[in-house]
Amino acid sequence: MNRYPDPSGSELKSAIAELHGVGVENVALGNGSNEIIRHLTLAYGGEGRAALMFPPSYQVYSVAAKVAGCDIIEVLRDETFSIGPAEIDRAKAHEPDIAFVCDPNNPTGTALGSIVVGQIADQLEGLVVVDEAYAEFSEGSSVGILSEHSNLAIVRTLSKAYGLAGLRVGYLISSTEIVRAVESVQLPYHLNMVSMAASTAALKSQSEYAEIIGNLIDERSRVIESLDKISGISTIPTQSNFVMFRMNQDAGDVYRELLKHEVLVRPYPDEPLFSKCLRVTVGTPPENKAFIGALEKVLAAF
């Protein structure tokens, strides 16, 4: 390691390109997908430019856009946390330079699919960034429609399905022009050789990951089924590795009581829409059982 790493990251890029059936020239690398998001806002945002988000969604988009000096525009998702023709029309009226679409959405788990993503890319003239951090847990991806939309950029990560958040590796799949724009704002040698070697090996172990992800999806069905059986609880349809559910109780109260049972879930105290909602990540079968057991006890005590 007394040598600089390969500045082009060609081995890792080849593994990504092969996995997604694209060219190496369609791939850019990042220290996690958050860095790709920042680099996209640096390349396409700036003073006097508008960045659009569809909340409730991932917070990093507006943080990155603000750092880049963009004006922030928000178009709320519909009541099912999806994006329909009305939301697309509203977004179009703002003529954003860059728009962020999280699919499946964090924190609701809602999946849009490539048909809706294609409609968004058709209607908006600016760059459309599709954050597919959880796509491995879902039924689809918009990688297949990239060639039909010159303004589409897809962002992926090894932090979720691959369980490699500590390596800090994410990537962009897009046109050569957008890839070049992102690489133009990156520092030379910004990805280290250890992370690149480890993530290349991980990406080449698809069959191992397919089994882990398959098991998680089965377990997700069991968690949803158990939650739906508890009276007063409804779940939001999810294609992610977490489930957002709504209760009659205050989410903060339930969150604190669950902590006493050593169960950690995610409340959203700053989002009024989620004052009675919690997000639970699907865990191992014993963890999920412990969660459901604790939740039943906690809710029975209210």
* Cα–Cα–Cα angle for 106, 108, 113, rounded to 5 degrees: 80
142 binds ligand PLP per the rule CB under 6 A: no
Supply the minimum distance, in Å, between the C-beta of residue 72 and ligand PLP.
Answer: 17
Which is closer to ligand PLP, CB of 88 or CB of 102? 102
**102, 71 in Cβ contact below 8 A?**
no
Rg (CA), the chain: 20
Measured CA to CA, the distance from residue 20 to residue 144 in angstroms comes to 9
Compare residues 58 and 274 and give the one whose CB is closer to ligand PLP: 58
Please report whether residue 151 would count as binding ligand PLP according to CB under 6 A.
no
Q: Is 186 in the site for ligand PLP (CB under 6 A)?
A: no
**Counting contacts by CB under 6 A, is residue 267 touching ligand PLP?**
no
Task: Please report how close the Cβ of residue 164 comes to ligand PLP at its closest, in angstroms.
Answer: 9
39 versus 299: smaller Cβ distance to ligand PLP: 39
35 or 257, CB closer to ligand PLP? Answer: 35
Tokens of 215: 């098991």
* Contact between 102 and ligand PLP per CB under 6 A: yes
DSSP letters, 161-179, are TT--GGG--EEEEE-HHHH
Q: Is residue 203 within the footprint of ligand PLP (CB under 6 A)?
A: no
Q: What residues numbered 55-94 form the site for ligand PLP, per CB under 6 A?
A: 58
Among 26, 33, 108, 195, binds ligand PLP (CB under 6 A): 33
Give the torsion sign (CA, 136, 21, 34, 188). positive
Instruction: Yes or no: say if 14 and 106 are a contact pair by the CB < 8 Å rule.
Output: no
Task: Choose, by CB under 6 A, the member of 45, 55, 56, 170 that binds ligand PLP.
Answer: 170
Judged by DSSP in three states, 280 sits in strand
How many of the chain's residues bind ligand PLP (CB under 6 A)?
A: 13
Return the residue of 26, 62, 106, 238 that touches ligand PLP, per CB under 6 A: 106
Give the sign of the dihedral formed by CA 109, CA 113, CA 114, CA 119: negative
Three-state DSSP class for residue 278: strand
- Residue among 115, 165, 210, 264 that touches ligand PLP (CB under 6 A): 165
Please, what is the Cα angle at 226 between 233 and 247, to 5 degrees? 15
DSSP bridge partners of 50: 71
Q: What are the strands of the beta sheet with 234-235, ordered from one edge?
A: 234-235, 242-246, 277-281, 266-267
Q: Return the number of the residue (34 or 151) whose C-beta is nearest ligand PLP.
A: 34
Q: Establish if 110 lies at the interface with ligand PLP (CB under 6 A).
A: no
Of the pair 117, 292, the CB lying nearest ligand PLP is at 117
Residues in contact with ligand PLP by the rule CB under 6 A: 32-34, 58, 102, 106, 131, 133, 157, 159-160, 165, 170
